[in-house]
Structure 1
C-alpha cells in the first residue's frame, strides 16, 4: 500500500442495473492490476465472483456470501479488508491502490460506510459509485433500496446506454439529478470512457445549484438548497446538523455542500450519507464559489426543516417537495461523526 492511502469504492446499484458488467469491464483494463475486489451476494452461490474471474484470474477476490452486506455485515467485511491490505503483495506486483466492494442489489450503503469508519488507520479514501439503468430509469425508485443507493452515491454511472434511444442518454444527467443533484454523473455511449471514468479519483467541489432539476422524479424524496442566512459559528453549524439528523433519522439520505464559518478563513466541506457524517474539513480555496448545503431527504417538508434549531441559520431555496402520501414511520437517530 502506498503511503498516500488507497481508494475504496463501494459499487452499488439495484438488481440487474449492470454493476458486475461495469466492474468486469474495468478489471480488464491495465490499470486494474493494482486492484482488489470484494464481492457480496445475497445468496450462497457466488456467481458474480466466478464471472469476474474471467476478466483477470490473478485478481485478489474475496467473496462474502453471508447474505446482504448491509444486513449481516458484522466483522466479516472489516476482517476481509484488513487482510487484503496487510497481506504482502507478490514481489513483482505493484502496491495495492484500490479496493472495490461490489454490494448486492438490495444493499443499503449506510451500514457499509459505518463499518469502513472502523478502519480509519488504513487512511482509505471512500467513495460510493452507483449505477443507473437507463432502460428502467426511475421505475425502480419504488424500492427504497434503489433511492438510498442513488442518494448515497458520490458518482452515478448511466448503464445500458446502447439499449436506449439517443434522447434517453441526452436526458440521463437531468434524470439522475432528480434523485441526487450533487453526484458526479457519467453518461456517455463510449463504453471505454465510461468504464475509465467510473473508477477515476473523485473531484472535491460539490455542485450546489439544484434549480435546474426539472421536477422531482420520486413522490417521497425532497431536494432543497440550504443557504446561510447570516454569519455562522461552527458550534451553531454542528448543532444544526446534529438536530437535523436527530429529527429526520432514517429519512435523511444525503447532505453535501460548503459552509463558511467565522472560525475559518476557508469554507468547510460538509458531507453525510444517512446520519453518518464525515468530519468537516477545510477546503483549500480562498472562498466558497457557492455557500450552501444540498439536502436530500424522504417524507419531509419545508416547514419541518425550518423548525431545526438554531432557528434562522439557513434559508431554504430551490425546494423540490415530495408527495406526502404514504409517509413511512419516523425514527429519531443521532448523527455520528466518523473518521
Structure 2
C-alpha cells in the first residue's frame, strides 16, 4: 500500500518504437523496489515472478526478485490501479511510490488520463512519457496516433540509439519539432535513461523559450504560440482555457505555458494533455521566461483560437504546416 504521493507515468509510443524495451529497463533498475508496472500483456515483458495475491477481482499480480510489482490491466483501468495501490506491501519493501502504465502502440493518452480523474483520492502526480524511435524518426508522424502521443508527452525518450547513433545527435531538434515544450531525453547510455525519464515530476516547467525556426512534423498538426498582452485576471485566463478546450475538443492535444495573473505574485504554470488540465500552480524559478502559452492541436484553422472569448487578451503566432506541391514534402513557418 502507498504512503504519500505516487508518481504515475503513462508510457506511450507508436507500434514497435521501443516501449517494451524501455519498460524492461524500468523493471531491472536498482530503484524498482518502490515501483509497480501495469502492462497490457504480461507476457510482453517476460515476467518471472511469483503470484503476489489471489483474488476474484481479475487483477493478476506478480512480484519480481527486486521487489517490483507487476500486473495486467483488468477490464477497468481505474479499478486495476486502485487495487494495485491498496494491495498490502510485502515486509521489507518500501511503500509504493511510482507506477508505470504501458499503453498499446495505438492508444491516445487523453482517454487514459480521463480515467485517472476518478482516482484523485490517491494523490498521484501524472506524467506522459513517449518513445521516439530513432530508426524511423519523423516517418511515423503522419500517423494520427503517433502525433497525439508525442504532442501529449511531458518527456520524449529517444530509443534504439544502438541502431541509429547518428540520429541520436539530431534527436533533440527532431523532438522539439514534434513538441517544443516536452523534455527531450536522448542518451546512448541506457542505464542513464530510466532515472531521467521516470524521475519524480516535481516540476514540469517550460524554462526555455520556444524556438521560432522549427519545421513542421505533421501535415495536420498546428502549433500556436500565444503571448499574453499583459497581466490578466485569473478568471479571464480560466475562461479562455475552458473555452479553448470546449471549442477544440478531441482536436486539442496539448497546452503548456506561463501566465502572469493579477491574483498571484509569480507566474502560473498552466498545462493540459488533451482536455485534461492540471491544477495551475505558481512557478518558483528565479528567472522565468516571458509569459507564453503553447497550444498544439490537430485540424485547426487560425481564427478558431483567435475568436475564443474573452478575446483581445493574447497575441498569436502560428506554425502552420503546408505541403510543398513540387516536392511532396512539408514546410512550415511562424506567422503573426
CA RMSD in angstroms comes to: 2.1
Quick check: 1:56 aligned with 2:64? yes
What are the ranges of 5 or more consecutive residues in structure 1 without an aligned counterpart? Answer: 67-75, 326-339
Cα displacement (A) at 1:309? 1.4
Find the partner of 1:47 among 38, 43, 46: 43
Q: Are the aligned partners of 1:10 and 1:126 in contact in 2 as well (CA < 8 Å)?
A: yes
TM-score (norm 1): 0.85
Q: What does 1:1-339 align with in structure 2 at a 5 Å threshold? A: 3-41=3-41, 46-49=42-45, 51-53=46-48, 56=64, 59-64=68-73, 76-166=76-166, 168-202=167-201, 203-207=203-207, 209-285=209-285, 288-317=288-317, 319-323=318-322
Cα displacement (A) at 1:305? 1.8
Q: Are the aligned partners of 1:135 and 1:164 in contact in 2 as well (CA < 8 Å)?
A: yes
Cα displacement (A) at 1:20? 0.7
Cα distance in 1 for residues equivalent to 2:255 and 2:208 = 11
Cα displacement (A) at 1:287? 7.0
Cα displacement (A) at 1:127? 0.7
Cα distance in 2 for residues equivalent to 1:2 and 1:165 = 40
Give the equivalent residue in structure 2 for 1:336: none
Cα distance in 2 for residues equivalent to 1:2 and 1:65 = 20
Once the two structures are superposed, residues 115-143 of structure 1 have per-residue CA deviations (whole angstroms, 9 ceiling, x without a partner) of 11111111111111100001111111121
Q: Are the aligned partners of 1:208 and 1:294 in contact in 2 as well (CA < 8 Å)?
A: no
Secondary structure at the counterpart of residue 216 of structure 1:
coil
Cα distance in 2 for residues equivalent to 1:65 and 1:143 = 28
Once the two structures are superposed, residues 59-114 of structure 1 have per-residue CA deviations (whole angstroms, 9 ceiling, x without a partner) of 32111265xxxxxxxxx211111111111111111111111111111111111111
Give the equivalent residue in structure 1 for 2:60: none
Q: Are the aligned partners of 1:260 and 1:288 in contact in 2 as well (CA < 8 Å)?
A: no
Cα distance in 1 for residues equivalent to 2:148 and 2:181 = 14
Cα displacement (A) at 1:251? 1.3
Cα displacement (A) at 1:47? 2.7
What are the ranges of 5 or more consecutive residues in structure 2 without an aligned counterpart? Answer: 50-62, 325-336
Give the equivalent residue in structure 1 for 2:57: none
Secondary structure at the counterpart of residue 230 of structure 2:
coil
Secondary structure at the counterpart of residue 205 of structure 1:
coil
Cα distance in 1 for residues equivalent to 2:212 and 2:194 = 27
Secondary structure at the counterpart of residue 261 of structure 2:
coil
Cα distance in 2 for residues equivalent to 1:160 and 1:27 = 18
Q: Are the aligned partners of 2:208 and 2:289 in contact in 1 as well (CA < 8 Å)?
A: no
Number of residues paired by the alignment? 309
Cα displacement (A) at 1:290? 2.4
Secondary structure at the counterpart of residue 31 of structure 2:
helix
Cα distance in 1 for residues equivalent to 2:237 and 2:38 = 37
Q: Are the aligned partners of 2:207 and 2:289 in contact in 1 as well (CA < 8 Å)?
A: no
Cα distance in 2 for residues equivalent to 1:287 and 1:188 = 28
